[in-house]
Amino acid sequence: MRRRSLVLTVIAGLAVFLVVLALYMPASWFASLLPAQVRCKELGGSIWQGECLGLALQGSNLGDATWNLAPLRALTGRLAGDVDVRGTALNARADFDTSFSGVGELRNVDLQFQLDPTLLPLPQQPAGSQGNLRGSVSARLKRLEIAAGPAPRTLDGVIELHDFQQVGAQAAALGSYQVSFDGSPPKDGALVGKLRDLGGPFMVDGTLTLSAPNGYLVQGYITGRTADAERIVRDITLGVPPDAAGRSTFSFEGTY
């Protein structure tokens, strides 16, 4: 009986040790699993409640990140919790509930960053811009559902671009703009948002269409508010005359 009692005590103690280890597993143990383009100067806390001080992406410093994960949800194959990043180039927070492959949803997303490749690695800018486009981007999303790919499946919220401008030899102020998505289901596999200007040299009324896996189409009407702006409109519309209301149609597409 004593031997059996000793065995049970050892098993119970081992079980408690494993549970404690799982709950307080140091985040630093998993540093080698980070993607090659992501680096942390210092990892602290546990894998469930931790922090990454000096978060860097492709060599650009983003700031400090903290996260909270629900351990029991991980046992069901889900990553659920919240993440927060604070820094000079990027400020972001979101609640998330996804599979390990990233399929799921983000809620209460609040994001701000500078459109500046010297501060933050950015997708390829439009041909001819030579990386000279600048501005402030913000997003407030109630819900973003992510499908495999990854690709957006449902989007409910507002994205804004303020003080958009081209710098360099051909510097020009390009205005501020807003795209709003109402959470409607995809139409023919694409999400369509309403595009409008928030002031500046151009009056814009159009749509932004996001198609899987990473395509976009911007189209609508544009009118210059000044003589200089209208000359730019004539250039980008290849001289096509405006309609009776003075509006010119425009369209461009690409990938992100």
Region 141-158: mean pLDDT is: 92
| Low-confidence winner among 11-25, 154-168, 194-208 (lowest mean pLDDT) | 11-25
The set of residues, in sequence order, having a beta carbon less than 8 Å from that of 226 and lying 6+ positions away, is 201
Using an 8 Å Cβ cutoff, are 76 and 54 in contact? no
Average confidence (pLDDT) over 142-170: 92
Please say whether the beta carbons of 35 and 56 come within 8 A.
no
Domain boundaries, the chain: 101-255
Please state the pTM of the whole predicted model.
0.83
| Structure confidence by residue, pLDDT tens digits, 91-125 | 999 999 999 888 999 999 999 998 887 776 655 55
Q: What is the dihedral of CA 198, 161, 179, 128, to 10 degrees?
A: 110
**3-12, 118-127, 237-246: which range is least confident on average?**
3-12
Q: Mean pLDDT, to the nearest integer, of 233-250?
A: 89
Least confident of 24-33, 130-139, 218-227: 24-33
Residue type, 200: G
The residue-averaged pLDDT of 149-157 equals: 90
